[in-house]
Chains A and B, each alone.
Chain A
Amino acid sequence: MGTLIIVLTYIAYVCIVAVYTFKVVGWLRLPPHIRWDLYPVIHEENYRYGGSYYEQQEWWTKPRPKNRWRSILYSLKDNFYMGEYYKRNPLYWLFLLPWHLGFIFIITFHILCFFAAVSMVAGLEISAASASSAGKSFYYILLATGGFAFLTGTFGSIGMIFIRLADRSLRMYSMPMNFFNYFFFLIVYGSGLFAWLALDPTLVEYRAYWLGLITLSPPVLHPMTVLHIILFDIFLIYLPFTRSTHYITRILAYFYIRWDDEPNQRGSKMEKQLNDLLGQKVSWEGSHIAKGKSWVEVATEPGFPDTKKDSK
């Protein structure tokens, strides 16, 4: 069993990293698009009221300072706060936020477990009774992170089932997949919560599990912990096939769509990219679009249509 969870865990991590990477790279490789900015643009100087550089006369002669750090913090902040939900549907927010925090903290917990295991290999004792303050701190941080993840994840999963059924507008647009996810995630978090509260209150088994992972020595664990770890590995494999990539793509959408206010300048790299795209042949069939011509050729023709001939 110990070997199984080691192999499965490695497969799960390779899978989640590979699929997320594939999805994110696929997103980023989509071609540049027409500008479609939406204000406020957070890196702008006047972001507080939504002002842009277009408020200046001859804006192209002026500097356009961008505060990237502000944008990064703003976009990350919402992973932990979700203010728009709080403002518009507080009951939904009450369940949605813990549900999301469950994800964030369970991943964080496992990352911390990895570092804990590395430290243990280096000789650090991680426990409440550790002689080292670092070992003691590590112990309590792990306990807090893991416990918080199990609690919020369990509460959030139950709450999401409830709110998706209770709120008419959410229910109408819900799909069986949503409920499958909530139930599955409930089992993952719930099994972790049970294992922690009933069997492993110091989370020592997780440290043993991660130590086994990095030293490739199968650990001996309680069957309930093993069950939770197997479920968690399946969760990691399944996660990238859900919409969960939005943890990353929502930030990309902010930077590459909503806040993309970079003007196209003559002779720029972007202009070259655009010229390549404009040179591609299009195949739209509307009568005002000439057949077999490139984008730029169509755009530079008047294209007067005879709308009566169209398939109206």
Chain B
Amino acid sequence: MNKIIHIEDFSRSGGQLAQIDPAELMPLPPPYDKIEKPPIRQLTDEQRKRMDASLDGVVAIGLTPPANPEEEKAFIDKFIAGLEKLFTIENNWTFLQPLVHTLDYCVKCQICSDACPTYLASGRQEIYRPTMRAEILRRIISKYIKKENSLVRKFKASDIDLNWQTLARLAELAYRCTLCRRCAQVCLLGCDNALISREIRKIFSQQMGIAPKEIHEKGSVQQLKVGSSTGMTPMALKNIIEFIEEEIEEKTGRKIKIPVDKKGADMLLIHNAGEFMAWPENLEAFAILLDAAGVDWTLSTEIAGYDSVNYGVWYDDFQFSRVAIRQSQAAKSLGVRKISFGECGHAHKAGIVVADRVLTGDLNIPRESILPLLEDIVLSGRIKLDPSRNAFPVTLHDPCNMVRLMGIVAPQRRILKKICPQFREMTPHGVENYCCGGGSGFAITQSTNFPDWRSAVSGRMKFKQILDAFQDVPGPEIKKYLCAPCSNCKGQFRDMFEYYGVWEKSGILYGGLVELIVNAMVDLKKPFIQWEWH
């Protein structure tokens, strides 16, 4: 049984608070049930000196300990100042109401714990309980913001010793929640402990400039600087598009000119730039399908206009708004009628829903998901499709942002039911789905041993679900397709499947939705999906 950890333990210096014990992790079906190696690489002594890993031996941020008591005091003071700002309208109108509601009305009934895939898959590690972060924050607020006296704090069990160690662990802990919001979904009081994770991240970022490098410096900052979080410049984009056009011609014999910066096009399509770098077949499939369906669309080469990601949605309101505004400006300069987001879950939620109350006036350009258009193309019969071309087992992963957080549930299912005769659902699915384990920036966080953690812990529940969905065809001899209409989720599946050796052991390939549609196109001579692991 995992060690009992109390909030007081967060303030104790030295030592690692929680150990991830492979024997305690949620069991997986065979052949993944044997523990062959420690699930998470140990940090070297040098890494441990440089980066704080005292929460669970894993590093997402890796804060460097202060050199002296003055530095520690300055660090704590800055955090407290940030925490105060969280409760002011001018600094945090964006989330003030849901934040205050959760802090004031959570009764710590722990119903949310059993909804959290990370907590469950970890073998119920106390530190990953959804209420843990909120309770630490609540205690800091009681003592340092509301300045409640010690008797009141005793009555409310809200005492805490605040030191550098407490905050370093809290910062890391905020990056052990995927923001999937399953916890919020089951809360009868309307509280949202995932939001608390985000608000803690916000203090560290907006007040202290602290965030995982992959999300901030190499993520949203790079996107605003060069155009994409991948570092892909507009020039590189044009080269990749040429490459994609050549690939399409080679695969299908079709000469398709991908529209770029086409003024007055009906629709600006923004893909996750990860597709350009890692999964160009997704872009190829989109180009083939939209060309065949006669859709009037274009890509953009403006800053952020060709990369739908918006990492700010996970940690920083300003970085979020900057990207959302740039994406709208790109659309405005092209004079398109609407923006459509490709297969990327968080980009959907960020660009279509969350940005809604930041984009005002002529920047409020209609924005939608590409999925209803894909559904229309498939179900209307505009393109001839042959389901027998997809005669292999297919299951569907629901990206949290697209499904639970914005209610796009049915279009992808209607498509799959039409074109994939061996489609089967996972359990649970739809708005009750489990996160891939790479949500809220985890899929792109490659720091030290963090990828091991997200494969072994945060993605574990999803991995089990996938294996269960294919339990009638477990071996690698039958190739299977995990349809994941989200670039971030695909990144997580790529790493997680590598980690467990899934292609070799189970023959499961992951990919997008549009690839399955194009694979079923009667007009194409050869199958579009190539059963190669990459």
Which residues of A does B touch, CB under 8 Å?
A: 27, 30-41, 44, 46, 49-60, 78, 82, 84-85, 88-89, 92, 96, 168-170, 172-177, 180, 243, 245-246, 249-250, 252-254, 256-258, 261, 263-266, 270-271, 274-275, 277-278, 280-289, 295, 298-305, 307, 309-312
Contacts and interface: CB of A to CB of B under 8 A. Distances in A.
Name which of A27, A34, A288 has the most chain B CB atoms within 10 A of its CB.
Answer: A34
Contact of B131 (A50, A173, A277, A310): A173
Given A249-B101, A280-B89, A50 B207 contact: no
B408 A52 contact: yes
A34 B357 CA distance: 6
Contacts of B158: 175
B189 A250 contact: yes
A252 B97 CA distance: 11
Contacts of B360: 264, 266, 271, 274-275, 278
B404 A39 contact: yes
B188 A55 contact: no
Contacts of A169: 110, 113, 129
Contacts of B170: none
B221 A305 contact: yes
B78 A33 contact: no
Contact of A172 (B6, B94, B191, B318): B6
A208 B406 CA distance: 55
A299 B319 CA distance: 7
B101 to A, nearest CB: 5
Interface stretch (B208-216, B249-257, B509-517): B208-216
28 contacts: A27-B97, A31-B93, A31-B96, A32-B357, A33-B93, A33-B98, A34-B94, A39-B404, A39-B407, A54-B369, A54-B406, A55-B408, A57-B376, A88-B114, A174-B108, A176-B156, A177-B156, A249-B190, A253-B98, A253-B105, A257-B101, A264-B359, A266-B362, A274-B358, A281-B90, A284-B85, A285-B206, A299-B321
Given A54-B407, A285-B82, A286-B205, A33 B111 contact: no
B505 to A, nearest CB: 33
B466 interface: no
Given A264-B356, A303-B322, A311-B74, A54 B368 contact: yes
A250 B210 CA distance: 33
B180 to A, nearest CB: 11
Nearest to A287: B209
By secondary structure, the B interface counts as: helix
A56 B404 contact: no
B231 interface: no
Given A27-B101, A58-B368, A307-B217, 14 more contacts: A32-B97, A34-B317, A46-B410, A55-B407, A55-B411, A89-B110, A170-B110, A172-B4, A253-B105, A275-B360, A278-B358, A280-B89, A280-B93, A284-B82
B388 interface: no
Given A298-B318, A303-B224, A50 B409 contact: yes
Nearest to B312: A299
A283 B91 contact: yes
A184 to B, nearest CB: 13
Given A52-B406, A55-B409, A307-B216, A250 B188 contact: yes
B105 A311 contact: no
Contacts of B364: 264-266, 271
A96 B115 CA distance: 19
Nearest to A167: B110
A284 B358 contact: no
Given A58-B338, A299-B318, A257 B376 contact: no
A94 B318 CA distance: 46
A265 B100 CA distance: 26
B189 A246 contact: yes
Contacts of B338: 58
A175 B155 contact: yes
Interface residues of B, number: 99
A243 B107 contact: yes
B181 interface: yes
Contacts of B404: 38-39, 50
A39 B131 contact: no
B353 interface: yes
B111 A84 contact: yes
A171 to B, nearest CB: 10
Contacts of A245: 105
Interface string B190-234: 111001000000000111111000001100010011000000000
A277 B157 CA distance: 36
Contact of A88 (B81, B111, B356, B371): B111
Nearest to A262: B356
B134 to A, nearest CB: 10
B206 A286 contact: yes
B85 A283 contact: yes
Interface in B161-205: 181, 184-192, 195, 205
A299 B75 contact: no
Contact of B90 (A89, A270, A280, A299): A280
A181 B271 CA distance: 54
B225 A304 contact: yes
Contact of A289 (B110, B126, B318, B430): B318
B210 A310 contact: yes
A105 B90 CA distance: 42
B97 A30 contact: yes
B208 A286 contact: yes
Contact of B189 (A31, A173, A253, A305): A253
B357 A264 contact: yes
- Shortest Cβ-Cβ A-B pairs, 4 listed: A52-B407, A253-B190, A310-B209, A50-B431
B104 interface: yes
A39 B184 CA distance: 10
A56 to B, nearest CB: 6
B64 interface: yes
A51 B216 CA distance: 32
Contacts of B411: 55
Interface string B68-102: 00000011001001100100011101111110110
B371 to A, nearest CB: 8
A312 B67 CA distance: 11
Contacts of B108: 170, 173-174
B431 A49 contact: yes
Contacts of B206: 284-286, 289
B178 to A, nearest CB: 15
Contacts of A274: 357-358, 360
B468 interface: no
A177 B352 CA distance: 43
A288 B209 contact: yes
A252 B90 CA distance: 23
Contact of B188 (A49, A78, A172): A78
A246 B408 CA distance: 30
A104 B359 CA distance: 43
The residue among A27, A35, A288 with the most chain B CB atoms within 10 A of its own CB is: A288
Interface in B369-425: 369, 371-373, 376, 403-411
A304 B101 CA distance: 33
Interface in B112-144: 113-115, 126, 129, 131, 135
| Max chain B Cβ within 10 angstroms of own Cβ: one of A57, A258, A261 | A57
Interface in B342-372: 352-354, 356-362, 364, 366, 368-369, 371-372
Contact of A312 (B64, B93, B113, B154): B64
B35 interface: no
